[in-house]
Amino acid sequence: MKSTCIKQVKARQIFDSRANPTVEVDIILESGIIGRGLVPSGASTGKFEAIELRDDDISKLSGKSVLTAVRNVNEIIAPQLIGKDVLDQAALDHLLIELDGTPNKARLGANGILGVSMAAAWAGANAENIPLYRYLGGANARMLPVPMIQIIGGGKHAGQTIDIQDYLVIPAGANSFSEAIEMVINVYHATRKVFIERGKPISVADEGGFWPTFVSNTEGLDLLVAGIEKAGYRPGEEIAIALDIASSHFYQDGQYCFALENRKMTPEEFADVLVSWVNKYPILSIEDGMAEDDWDGWKHLSAKLKSRIQLIGDDLFVTNVDRIQQGLDKDVANGVLIKPNQIGTITETLEAIEFTKNAGYLPIISARSGETEDAMIVHLAIATAAGQLKVGSVARSERTAKWNEGLRIEEQLGASGIYPGKALYRRILNTR
Catalytic residues: 207, 339
Which of 22, 44, 72, 89 binds ligand PGA (CB under 6 A)? It is: 44
Is residue 143 near ligand PGA by the rule CB under 6 A?
no
φ and ψ of 359, to 5 deg: -80, -5
Q: How far is the CB of 45 from ligand PGA (least distance, A)?
A: 5
Can you say how many angstroms the Cα of residue 220 is from the centroid of all Cα atoms in its chain?
21
Is there binding between residue 247 and ligand PGA (CB under 6 A)? Answer: no
Residue 274 near residue 286 (C-beta atoms within 8 A): yes
Q: 134 touches which of ligand PGA, Zn ion, none (CB within 5 to 8 A by kind)?
A: none
Which residue in the set 366, 372, 388, 400 belongs to the binding site for ligand PGA (CB under 6 A)? 366
Q: Three-state DSSP class for 80?
A: helix
d(CA 388, CA 180): 12
The answer to whether residues 379 and 353 touch, using CB atoms and an 8 Å cutoff, is: no
Please identify, among the stretches 92-100, 306-314, 373-381, 389-397, the one whose residues bind Zn ion according to the rule CB under 5 A. Answer: 306-314
Contacts with 175 (C-beta within 8 Å, 6 or more apart), sequence order: 419, 421
Q: Does residue 374 interact with ligand PGA by CB under 6 A?
A: no
75 and 83 in contact (C-beta within 8 Å)? no
- Residue 369 engages ligand PGA in binding (rule: CB under 6 A): yes
Binder of ligand PGA out of 93, 244, 294, 398 (CB under 6 A): 244
DSSP notation for 122-179: HHHHHHHTS-HHHHHH-TT--BPPEEEEEEEE-GGGTTTSSS--EEEEE-TT-SSHHH
Q: Is 267 in the site for ligand PGA (CB under 6 A)?
A: no
For Zn ion, which residue has the nearest CB?
A: 314
Distance between CA atoms of 335 and 364, rounded to whole angstroms?
A: 7
Under the criterion CB under 6 A, does residue 393 sit at the interface with ligand PGA? Answer: no
Nearer residue to ligand PGA within complex by CB, 114 or 246: 246
Q: How far is the CB of 319 from ligand PGA (least distance, A)?
A: 11
Contact positions with ligand PGA (CB under 6 A) in 304-333? 314
The binder of Zn ion chosen from 163, 244, 374, 405 (CB under 5 A): 244
Q: Is 314 in the site for Zn ion (CB under 5 A)?
A: yes
Look up residue 11 and give its amino acid: A
Binding residues vs ligand PGA (CB under 6 A)? 42-45, 244, 246, 314, 366, 368-369
